[in-house]
Every structure is written in C-alpha cells, then in structure tokens.
Amino acid sequence: MGGGRKTPQTTTVSGGIDPEFKPYLKQVLADVTDTYKASVDDPSKTVAALDPAQQAALDAQQSQAQDALTGGGAYDYTSAMNKDIQNVVGQAAGQAALGGYGGSARSQQMMASAVGDKSLQYQQQKQQDMAQGAQALGQVGSANQAYQQQLLDAPHTQASRYFGYLGSAPQQQIQKTTGGGGK
C-alpha cells in the first residue's frame, strides 16, 4: 500500500488577556498598584477614618468611663451622700428625742445602723459604676484597637484586592489545530 506518511494532528491552546480589554486593564492595574503602594507607605490613606461623631462618642464614653472608675464628674456622690447621711442622722435624732431615748445606747445604735445602711447604698452604687466604667473603657479600647488593626491590615487587604483584579481580567482562549493530513 503506497500511502504516505500521516502527520499527527496537534492542538495547541493558548490564552491570555483579550487584546480588546488590555488598555482598560493596564489603567486599572496601574491605579490599583498605586493604591497598594500608598497603603504600604501610609495605611490611613486606604482605611476610612473614624467619623467625627464616632470619635466624639468614643471620647465622651472614655471620659465618662474614667469618671465612673474614679468617682469624678457625675459619679461624685460626696455631696449627695453627706446630705443624705445628715438627713438620716437628723431623722434618727428626732425620733430618738420623741421616743424619749435621747442619747441612749439604743438611739445611738439606731442612728449608726441608719447611717451604715445609707453608706452601704452609696458604696454599692459606686461599685456598680466602677464595673460599668471598666466595661465602657474596654469597649472604647476595643473600637480603637479594631481601627488600628485595619490600618495594619490595609496593605494586605489592598494586595488581596490587587490579585483579585489580576485573576478577574477578561481572558481569551485560542485553539489552533495543525497536522492530521497525509500524502
């Protein structure tokens, strides 16, 4: 049989960015590259700053938390406590005098008990305020720490976006078949 030699058929597949999209992709990648470089140099350029209202709220919350912990500002009960204790002492003394007890041990014990009860109420309130203050201060710290972490992560976030853009570029696939013929 005198047939000729058959050339094997070969298929070559190649791909790449569709030429139609290359100018757009170059511009986008240049912009993303610039943003990435900026985020490495100064992460605050790629992470939104706290809104002034957020910052004011955090500052107020921090101040209030510190006051609660230290018993300052609205958490300073000294005047109110002194007034209440004076009222308790005055009422107890009046009741003792009306009851004929005067300066007796019984009236002194009753007065000491009433003053102790009032003092304990303020101490319990102070402990509650301190616990709430510590919790609020922790929340302020957590919010600030989360923002600082975003700043630290900004270059990595930008890099991830950058590679996502690279992987999402429009692709073309070219298939070329050669050979398969004979003599």
DSSP 58-124: HHHHHHHHHHHHHT-GGG--HHHHHHHHHHHHHHHHHHHHHTT-TT-HHHHHHHHHHHHHHHHHHHH
Cα-atom radius of gyration of the chain, to the nearest Å?
39
> Do 45 and 110 touch, CB atoms closer than 8 A?
no
Q: What string of pLDDT tens digits covers the 183 residues of the chain? A: 555 566 777 877 777 777 777 787 788 778 878 877 887 788 777 777 777 778 888 888 888 888 888 888 877 878 877 887 787 777 766 666 665 555 567 767 777 777 777 777 878 888 888 888 778 888 888 888 888 888 888 878 877 887 787 777 677 777 777 766 555
Q: What is the pTM of this model?
A: 0.47
Q: Give the start-to-end residue ranges of the domains of the chain.
A: 17-39+54-178
Give the closest residue to 40 by CA, choosing from 166, 148, 145, 157: 157
Closest-CA residue to 81 (of 45, 126, 51)? 126
